[in-house]
């Protein structure tokens, strides 16, 4: 009887220990994600640069007046021309009376004088010069109106469906508008397409015509991980800031629009970035060209076909959720040769925390030709009996 009690006593405590361990693990995995910070800005958005995943947002598709955030598109088109070779930083630009007459923030260029493209670019990005915006627009497209047409065509190409430009500088106009979601698309494109040009957004000051001006993005001084991008302000738009930062190989982009002061837009941008870096993580799940799975293919000169993705696939999730990440591979029931590279033949369903987070098409990574007549007959017979 005593032996029975001792044996069962040990079993009981073993079971109790296992249950406590299970509950402990369950509590760790079930820890809720803290809610995003509540900001006073009219609209805001926080995304991961690589995956494009939205981490926090408020009214991100509402139209707003972009003010000097317009200059991100102006700079993007300048970067595109520099990359094409149709423009160089050494090119001289003769300043027009119209460019010099621009009100608001300026780099103080003078009509009739020659300024290099390189100086104008820094006047545009660092000093937020309305005069620099117009001078570059006129140099590239002969007129600001012609340049605005280029801006709107590029917005359409980038799928910025809530944006319309009326000028190159961001001066108020009832038909000049954008959204936080569209600004995120534009910021991602700038960083990804022209990384060397984007590095100019980290420049803290620029001196032209013996006038030194500091970059209005004060996060450059406050947070070493921030390396851009742009401020904007008008009475109607309020105080706006698009910012980007990198920590531990993870880049986030924050957009804060319609804050009530410069101090507020800086503080709220910082809160968004800190929230994203603290609670989220981005990982590459599949590499471009990596064999994710193999599938049976019929009537071909090989019986297996490799499946994968054409581009690197990154996923952004709450940090603890990666422990529950699972991929379920689904392939077409009957794959028949011939098959071409890039042909969609299945999908990978990624789940985490008991929910589907992504569904990724799986593509053929190799070409499979149709087999000979006798092989096709053999496969037809096998398929019939299956």
Kindly tell me the burial class for residue 106, based on how many C-beta atoms sit within 10 Å of its own C-beta (0-12, 13-18, 19 or more).
buried
User: Active-site residue numbers?
Assistant: 68, 71, 128
Domain boundaries, the chain: 43-281, 287-385
Read off the pLDDT of residues 325-381 as tens digits, 9 standing for 90 and up.
999 999 988 888 899 999 999 999 999 998 999 999 999 999 998 767 766 666 667
User: For residue 292, what are the contacts with CB-CB under 8 A and spacing of at least 6?
Assistant: 286, 307, 308, 309, 329, 348, 362
- What dotted CATH number matches 43-281? 3.40.710.10
- What dotted CATH number matches 287-385? 2.60.410.10
Read off the pLDDT of residues 21-69 as tens digits, 9 standing for 90 and up.
444 433 334 467 889 999 999 999 999 999 999 999 999 999 999 999 9
8 A C-beta contact, residue 78 and residue 121: yes
At residue 20 the predicted structure's pLDDT band, cuts being 50, 70 and 90, is very low
8 A C-beta contact, residue 76 and residue 85: no
Read off the pLDDT of residues 193-232 as tens digits, 9 standing for 90 and up.
999 999 999 999 999 999 999 999 999 999 999 999 999 9
Q: Which residue has the higher pLDDT, 14 or 215?
A: 215
Nearest 5°: CA angle at 312, between 306 and 317?
A: 115
Give the 3-state secondary structure of residue 325: coil
Q: Which secondary structure element, helix H or strand E, spans residue 304, and what is its range?
A: strand 304-308
CA distances from 353 to 35, 280, 317 (A): 17, 14, 10
CA distances from 145 to 59, 113, 133 (A): 30, 22, 12
Q: How high is the pLDDT of residue 18?
A: 42
Rounded to whole angstroms, the Cα distance separating 263 from 250 reads 26
Q: How high is the pLDDT of residue 336?
A: 85
């Amino acid at each position: 009887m005593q032996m029975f009690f001792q044996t069962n006593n040990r079993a009981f405590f073993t079971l109790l220990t296992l249950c406590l361990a299970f509950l402990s693990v369950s509590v760790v995995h079930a820890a809720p994600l803290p809610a995003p910070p509540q900001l006073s800005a009219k609209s805001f958005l926080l995304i991961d640069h690589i995956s494009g995943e939205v981490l926090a947002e408020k009214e991100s598709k509402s139209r707003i007046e972009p003010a000097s955030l317009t200059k991100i598109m102006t700079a993007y088109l300048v970067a595109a021309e520099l990359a094409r070779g149709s423009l160089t930083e050494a090119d001289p630009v003769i300043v027009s009376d119209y460019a010099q007459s621009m009100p608001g923030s300026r780099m103080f260029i003078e009509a009739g004088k020659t300024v290099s493209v390189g100086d104008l670019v820094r006047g545009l990005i660092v000093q937020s010069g309305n005069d620099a915006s117009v001078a570059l627009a006129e140099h590239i497209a002969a007129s600001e109106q012609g340049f605005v047409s280029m801006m709107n065509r590029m917005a359409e190409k980038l799928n910025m469906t809530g944006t319309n430009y009326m000028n190159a500088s961001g001066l108020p106009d009832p038909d000049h508008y954008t959204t936080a979601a569209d600004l995120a698309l534009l910021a991602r494109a700038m960083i990804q397409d022209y990384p060397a040009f984007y590095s100019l957004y980290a420049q803290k000051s620029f001196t032209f015509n013996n006038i030194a001006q500091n970059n209005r993005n004060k996060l450059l001084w406050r947070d070493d991980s921030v390396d851009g991008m742009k401020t904007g302000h008008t009475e109607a738009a309020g105080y706006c800031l698009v910012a980007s930062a990198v920590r531990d190989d993870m880049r986030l982009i924050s957009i804060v629009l319609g804050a009530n002061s410069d101090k507020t837009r800086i503080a709220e941008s910082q809160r968004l970035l800190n929230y994203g870096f603290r609670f989220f993580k981005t990982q590459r799940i599949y590499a471009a060209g990596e064999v994710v799975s193999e599938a049976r293919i019929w009537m071909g000169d090989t019986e297996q076909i490799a499946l994968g993705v054409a581009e690197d696939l990154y996923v952004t999730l709450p940090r603890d959720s990666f422990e529950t990440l699972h991929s379920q591979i689904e392939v077409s029931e009957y794959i028949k040769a011939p098959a071409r590279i890039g042909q969609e033949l299945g999908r990978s369903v990624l789940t985490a925390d008991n929910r589907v987070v992504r569904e990724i098409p799986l593509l053929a990574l190799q070409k499979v030709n149709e087999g000979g007549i006798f092989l096709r007959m053999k496969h037809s017979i096998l398929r019939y009996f299956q």
